[in-house]
Structure 1
Amino acid sequence: MAGLRSLIYMLLQAIITPPYALFTLMCFALPPHSRYQVTYGWTRLMLFMLRTICGLRYEVLGRENIPDQPSIILSKHQSAWETLALQQIFPPQVWVLKKELLRIPFFGWGLAMTSPIAIDRSAGKAALEQIVEQGRERLQQNFWIVVFPEGTRIPPGKKGKYRIGGAWLAVHTGALVVPVAHNAGEFWGRNSFIKYPGTITLSIGHPIHPDGIEAGELMAQAEAWIEAETARISRPSHRPIE
């Protein structure tokens, strides 16, 4: 049953995404926040389809930890799910991402309309400088910034190398860091076609203030909380089996 539901979701996504991306491109003249609301409409639709077709829901722990000012989200990355859900849980946001993603037909074109911080990861220090320059600008525009410090989706129970970019941005802008853990990969795995029904748990940690600490120490604090909390909420034995 999960396979059939996943197929229906994929087919509807394939039908909806191209015209919606073209509609989004027609809104390029709008202010950044207005463009964001247009692209967010696609996200809301995908989450609705995941809930009603695939039976994939979520719960949020720690909503009270969301600051009332634009901040930097450092999130665990296990699935495509969090790229959707973070937009519904947090205020308007931009992502730090690989510039190659913007070349993906339709999806990447729409993504480009959200004012992302698209970087060349092979650029080393130049990439960090780009993150700070564009990140400061986005924060001033009242956008939050999402960073997946592991850089790519990591299977449940595994840990990738945490890159310093998000912490570096926080230290150089004074923005709070909000760590986020979840177990989405247990329901929608990396590169997996099947989306198992169930309830994903996403947990938001206490904000970390960057004053007086180095970027490496800040990242270490965030990493320690994210990994410990991910292990705490993990429940692989509860994953529904088709």
Structure 2
Amino acid sequence: MAMIRSTVHMAFMFVTVIPFALLIVLAAAVGLGADKRYAIAASWLNLSIQAARVIMGVRYRIQGQENLPDGATSPAILLVKHQSTYETFLMPAIMPHALAYVFKRELLYVPFFGWAIGLLDMIHIDRSQRAKAFGKVVEQGQKLLAQGTWVIMFPEGTRIPRGERGNYKSGGARLAIATGAPVIPIAVTSAKCWPRKAFIKFPGVVDVSIGAPIDSVGREADELTREVENWIESEMHRLDPEAYVAKS
């Protein structure tokens, strides 16, 4: 049954991404602003999350929303635990601000999906040019944060199997320090239902825990990264203790 439900959900996403992507392209062609184009994209992501709930029984539960900054232009850098595609779709659906993902530019060449994200206020980088790429992240990040868009990054850089800890990179902390924006650490237990790189998903609840803002002013990047890592990994142990029993 899980295979059938997963297949139906994948087919649903494939079929629906095409009209939404074309709608974003059309919106750009007629001169609609980035906020309107983002709203279209977020609508598809939310639709996919709701479809996961209805078709596959994958639900989410949030705690710590009171930790999110108030104000239309209050800046924030979201640093999120990365276990699956689920949180990539979920974050724009639950956050009160538009989000700008930092991603590799190769995704721009993915038909429909890539064309659409290329027309959004996102930060796409060439990973082969590390110094230049980070300069672009800071430059665009400052502009986006000033207009009320939050920047979201996955400090582990890639999806990590359930119960494991990836290598936390300091890019998000460096961006926060460069812009003066606070860091919001977020733990997500998505791999319980949507395992890393797995086609078959399972019904259940994905817990999302939003930590208190961490001030970046006057901090060192490595120190700030360690604080984020310690909070997220400690929270992962609390939210999903079964995943860490064998590793304790």
Instruction: Please tell me the TM-score bracket, short chain as reference.
Output: over 0.9
Q: Is the 8 A contact 1:39 1:113 kept in 2?
A: no
Asked whether the equivalents of residues 128 and 168 of structure 1 are also in contact (C-alpha less than 8 Å), the reply is no
Q: TM-score, normalised by structure 2?
A: 0.92
SS of residue matched to 1:150? coil
Q: Counterpart of 1:193?
A: 199
Question: Does the aligned pair in 1 maintain the 2:20–2:40 contact within 8 Å?
Answer: no
Q: Which residue matches 1:38?
A: 40
1:132–1:173 contact (8 Å) kept in structure 2: yes
Please state how far the C-alpha of 1:114 moved relative to its aligned partner.
2.3
Other-structure match for 1:80: 85
SS in 2 for 1:121: coil
Against the structure 1 CA distance between its residues 236 and 16, is the aligned structure 2 distance closer, same or farther, given a 3 Å change threshold? farther
Q: Name the SS of the counterpart of 1:26 in structure 2.
A: helix
Structure 1 residue 113: deviation in Å? 2.4
Pairs within 5 Å for 1:82-121: 82-90=87-95, 91-121=97-127
Q: Which amino acid aligns with 2:83?
A: Q
Structure 1 unmatched runs, 5+: 238-242
Deviation of residue 150 (structure 1)?
Answer: 1.0
TM-score under structure 1 length normalisation: 0.94
Give the CA RMSD over aligned residues: 1.2
Mapped partners of 1:160, 1:73: distance in 2: 17
Distance 1:236 1:11 in 2: 32
Would you say how many aligned residue pairs link Structure 1 and Structure 2?
237
Q: Is the 8 A contact 2:43 2:93 kept in 1?
A: no
Does the alignment pair 1:125 with 2:127? Answer: no
Give, in angstroms, the shift of residue 236 of structure 1: 4.7
The alignment partner of 1:213 has SS state of: coil
Cα distance in 2 for partners of 1:121, 1:186 equals: 30
Residue 160 (str. 1) matches residue 162 (str. 2): no
2:175 pairs with 1:173: no
Matched residue, 1:54:
56
In 2, Cα distance between the equivalents of 1:4 and 1:183?
Answer: 23
Task: Summarize deviations over 1:216-242 as a string: whole Å, max 9, x none.
Answer: 1111111111111112111557xxxxx
1:205 alignment counterpart:
211
- Structure 2, unpaired ranges of 5+: 244-248
Quote the residue 2:66 is aligned against. Answer: 64
Instruction: Name the stretch that deviates more: 12-21 or 135-144.
Output: 12-21
